[in-house]
Amino acid sequence: MEKKPLKTVIVGGGHRSIVYSQLASVKPDKLEIVGVADPDEVRRNAIARMFDIPAEHCFKTAQELAKAPKFADAVINGTMDDIHVETTVPLLEAGYDVLLEKPFAVNESEARELVEAAKKYGRKVMVCFVLRYTPFYSEIKKRLVSGEIGDIINIQTCEYVSYHHMSTSHVRGKWNNSDRCHSSMLLAKCCHDVDLMMWLMGDDKPAFVSSFGCNQQFVPENAPANSGTKCLVDCPLVDECLYSAKRIYIDHPDRWSFYVWDALEGKENVTIEDKINLLKGDSPYGVCAFKSDNNVVDHQSVLVQFKSGATGTHNMVGGSSTGRRTIHIVGTKGEIDGDFERGIFRVSLIDPSPECEFRSKTVDVNVANDSHGGGDLALASDFVDYVRGDETTLSCTSIEDSFAGHLVVFLADTSRENGGRVEKVIL
C-alpha cells in the first residue's frame, strides 16, 4: 500500500526549520508541511505562503497549536534552545512526534524531563544532530561498526570556529551571552561534536569528564587602540579591523544574512543603506567585537574517559582563520584521521606482513553543497522513516540515544567552572 506523506507542522520558523522542511519540496511523497506556529507575524505569513497553509493552521505559539484539534502527524521544532522543553512537552502530550533542533535542552534537569515526557506520552523525538548524516561521518561510522580498525583506544575531535562565524553567533549574536540564551558555547556550537564522539564510540559509555576553557580574545582589554564602541559610528578602524562589522557584514551582506538582517525581514526592496543604518542603530551586530556583552568562552578542551578505559578529547577553538572540523580515531588494528570540510579521511591499518609496516587508503566522500556536508535532507528523510516505523539508518538520533552527549556537555561546563574538576557521568 502506498504511504501518504508525513503531515508536519513547523514550530519556530527559523533557518534550520526551513532547511529541514525543504524535504517537502524535494520528496513530496515523504513530507507535507500543513501548519506553522511562530510569534513573528511576518515570518508566520511567509511560511504560510511558502507551503500554502490555510489560516486555521497558523498559530502564534506551540502551546496554541497543542490546544487545537490535532491535524498533523509530527512537528519540526526549530525554536531557540532555551524553550525547546517548554514548547515540546505540550506537543508530545497532544500526540505529535517531534523533530527537535539541537541541543534539545539547556541543562541536565530539563534534558531528563524531556526524555521522561517522550516515554510518558509514547511519542518519538528525534534530535537534529545532522553531522551524523553527512557522508563523511556516516562512512566513518560504518567502518567502526565493521571492526576495521579494531577496538577504539582514543578518539580526538576538533572544531575550529572561523573568526566571522565566532563574531557573528557567539560574540555579537544570539548565542553570545548565556544569561540570555541559557546555552554555553560548548552546548550551542559543539554538542554536535560531543554527540559524534558518543555515537562513534558505540556501546562504550562515558564514565568521567573534565574540562578547561575561557574567553581569552574577545574582551575589552584586547580592543585595538583608539577603537570605538560601534564599528560604523565612532570607530576610525572600520576599514582595517579584523572584526569590523563593515568588513564582515556590509562587504559580504549575504554571508550571515539569516542572522544579521533578521530585523529587516518583511521589508521590501532592502538596500545596502538600510543595512548600514541597522548596524549604526541598536543591532548587536554593529557593536565592537571586543566591547560586546558576550560572556561565553572562545576556546575549550574536554577530556572524556569511557568505561572501557578508552579516552576521548574535543577541542573547540574560536576565532580561527577558517572554519574546520577534524577527527582522529586510534584503534587496536589501525586508525582513521580526516578533515570534514575537505570530505576526505585516511584509514591506516597495521600490516601483518614481516616488514612490520602499515598500509593506508584515502576515502573521498561525495560532499553535497549544503552547510552540513550533505546531511540536512538525509536527516529529515530518516525522521519520516523513524515516525512511520520503517527501517532507519545508523545515524538515527532518538532523544534517548542523544542523551549521553548532552550530559557530557553539561558536566564539561560544570568541570570548567570548577577549575577542571573531574565529574562522574551518571546516565
108-121 helix and 84-93 helix, angle to the nearest 10 degrees: 10
Torsion, Cα of 75, 79, 81, 86 (10° steps): -70
Does residue 385 belong to any structural domain of this protein? no
**Same-domain pairing of 66 and 108:** yes
Torsion, Cα of 111, 117, 123, 128 (10° steps): -10
**Same-domain pairing of 174 and 231:** no
pLDDT on residue 68: 98
The number of angstroms, rounded, from the C-alpha of 327 to the middle of its chain's C-alpha atoms is 17
More confident: 94 or 135 = 94
Q: What is the C-alpha separation between 57 and 310, in angstroms, rounded?
A: 50
Q: What is the C-alpha separation between 311 and 192, in angstroms, rounded?
A: 18
**Same-domain pairing of 202 and 336:** yes
**Same-domain pairing of 64 and 112:** yes
Tens of pLDDT along 303-330? 999 999 999 999 999 999 999 999 999 9
Average pLDDT over residues 352-364: 83
Does residue 1 belong to any structural domain of this protein? no
Does residue 184 belong to any structural domain of this protein? yes
**Same-domain pairing of 308 and 348:** yes
Average pLDDT over residues 367-391: 82
What is the domain-level CATH number for residue 301?
3.30.360.10
pLDDT on residue 123: 98
**Same-domain pairing of 327 and 202:** yes
- Bond prior to 103 in cis (omega within 30° of 0): yes
**Same-domain pairing of 51 and 117:** yes
Does residue 240 belong to any structural domain of this protein? yes
Average pLDDT over residues 391-419: 97
Strands 58-59 and 299-306: what pairing?
unpaired
Tell which residue, 196, 415, 203, has the closest CA to residue 307. 203
What is the domain-level CATH number for residue 68?
3.40.50.720
Write out the residue range of the structural domain in which residue 25 sits.
6-127
Torsion, Cα of 103, 196, 205, 147 (10° steps): 160
pLDDT on residue 370: 47
pLDDT on residue 12: 96
Does residue 375 belong to any structural domain of this protein? no
**Same-domain pairing of 243 and 107:** no
Does residue 31 belong to any structural domain of this protein? yes
Contact 286/129 with Cβ under 8 angstroms? no
Last residue within a domain, chosen from 255, 286, 317: 286
Does residue 390 belong to any structural domain of this protein? no
128-132, 164-168, 219-223, 374-378, range with the lowest pLDDT: 374-378
pLDDT on residue 373: 55
Average pLDDT over residues 174-197: 95
**Same-domain pairing of 348 and 404:** yes
Residue 14, C-beta contacts closer than 8 angstroms, at least 6 positions apart: 78, 79, 258
Q: In the structure, what pLDDT confidence band is assigned to residue 258 with cuts at 50, 70 and 90?
A: confident
Task: Please say if the pLDDT value at position 244 is more than 50.
Answer: yes
- Grid coordinates belonging to 24: 517537502
**Same-domain pairing of 100 and 173:** no
Last residue within a domain, chosen from 76, 111, 127: 127
**Same-domain pairing of 402 and 418:** yes
Strands 97-100 and 206-214: what pairing?
unpaired
Task: Please say if the pLDDT value at position 204 is more than 50.
Answer: yes
Does residue 377 belong to any structural domain of this protein? no
Strands 423-424 and 206-214: what pairing?
antiparallel
Contact 329/140 with Cβ under 8 angstroms? yes
Strand partners, 304: 209, 312
Q: What kind and span of H or E run contains 31?
A: strand 31-37
Average pLDDT over residues 184-211: 97
pLDDT on residue 368: 53
**Same-domain pairing of 81 and 38:** yes
pLDDT on residue 354: 73
Last residue within a domain, chosen from 107, 127, 147: 127
The percent of residues in the chain predicted with pLDDT above 90, rounded, is 90
Task: Please say if the pLDDT value at position 235 is more than 80.
Answer: yes
pLDDT on residue 367: 64
Look at the chain and report how many structural domains it folds into. Answer: 3
Tell which residue, 365, 309, 307, 372, has the closest CA to residue 336. 365
What integer best gives the mean pLDDT of the chain? 95
Q: In the structure, what pLDDT confidence band is assigned to residue 52 with cuts at 50, 70 and 90?
A: very high
